[in-house]
Structure 1
Amino acid sequence: MQPSNEFLTPEECAEVDKALLTSREKFSARVAIYALRSLKQIAQANGVNIVQLYPQQIEAWVYQDESLQAGVDREFRQFFSQLVIASMKPLRQMAAAAGVPIEAIGLAQVIDWFEQQAKLNLGNR
């Protein structure tokens, strides 16, 4: 996987935009997609599985990510680091539901999972 200068690729954005999700859910899906891509790169660079990563490794990666450098201050990077770290929870849930390691999850699975969660939330309202 090549490092990207973009938060999400145009193709990833288009897939999220097609999803039947609220704006908030689309934001969460976008963060999860970015997090998944970044976590795969961090894990590979450290020679470990994603579940073995430490929050400090994730935060350091976000602070160095070129797609988040332009016009972004330290507070935003810290906030965004916490979003990426928090994305581990839904990514673990996705992996468990699919019966695969997090590394095996793809874009379609992330979007499908968020759509399923949205349907569950509608049923609970």
Structure 2
Amino acid sequence: MTDFTQLSTNFLTTDEAARVDAALMSSQEKFATRLAIYALRSLDRISTEMGKPIESISPQEIGTWIASDRTLQAQIEIDASFASFFTHLVLSSLNPLKQAARSTGVAIDNLSVLQVITWFEQEAARRVRENP
């Protein structure tokens, strides 16, 4: 997996944003892809700090970590509901990340951004085929 600590507060590199933008998906699907990548980056940080795999982190641990994360404190101070909102986004993204991991045959911890984008693009194409 990418070393996310070097990305600072940017959740997508310029190259990754361009790859999402170039994917054959609707705007809504591209947005969901970006959210999943943001969630994966957050989950990777949580996993690293807790010393356990993403799959074994509970929703409560995710919420507690987000509420106490120094990099999110400014947002939380501006809007007290931000921690809850961001926790919900991360938890909602777990399902597609689990599906992408199963599809690629790797643990969520080992998913690459490209694998996430590819999975979302394949799912978009499948939905188009099934619902012309």
Q: Structure 2-normalised TM-score?
A: 0.83
RMSD of the TM alignment (CA)? 2.0
Cα distance change, pair 68–92 in 1 and its aligned pair in 2 (3 A): farther
- Higher mean alpha-carbon deviation, 111-120 vs 57-66, is at 57-66
Assess if the C-alpha contact under 8 Å between 2:100 and 2:115 holds in 1: yes
Task: From the superposition, tell whether residues 68 and 83 of structure 1 become closer, same or farther in structure 2 (CA, over 3 Å).
Answer: farther
Query: Cα distance 1:34–1:42, how it changes in 2: closer, same or farther (>3 A)?
Result: same
Distance 1:65 1:23 in 2: 31
* Distance verdict in 2 for CA 1:68–1:20, change over 3 Å: farther
Tell me what 1:6 maps to.
10
Consecutive unaligned residues of structure 2, counting only runs of 5 or more, are none
For residue 129 of structure 2, what is the amino acid of its counterpart? G
2:94 is the counterpart of 1:88? yes
The number of residue pairs the alignment matches comes to 125
Give the stretch that moved more between structures: 89-98 or 65-74: 65-74
Structure 2: how far apart are the matches of 1:117 and 1:68? 35
Give identity over the alignment, percent: 42
Which runs of 5 or more structure 1 residues have no equivalent in the other structure? none
Q: Note the C-alpha offset of 1:59.
A: 2.1
Q: How far apart in 2 are the matches of 1:7 and 1:60?
A: 20
Structure-1-length-normalised TM-score: 0.87
Q: CA 1:67–1:9 in 2, change beyond 3 Å: closer, same or farther?
A: farther
SS of match in other structure, 2:81: helix
Give the corresponding residue for 1:114: 120
Within the candidate set 24, 38, 42, 2:42 is matched to: 38
Mapped pair 1:97 → 2:103:
yes
Give the drift of 1:72. 5.3
Deviates more, 1:68-77 or 1:48-57: 68-77
Q: 1:68 to 1:23 in 2, by over 3 A?
A: farther
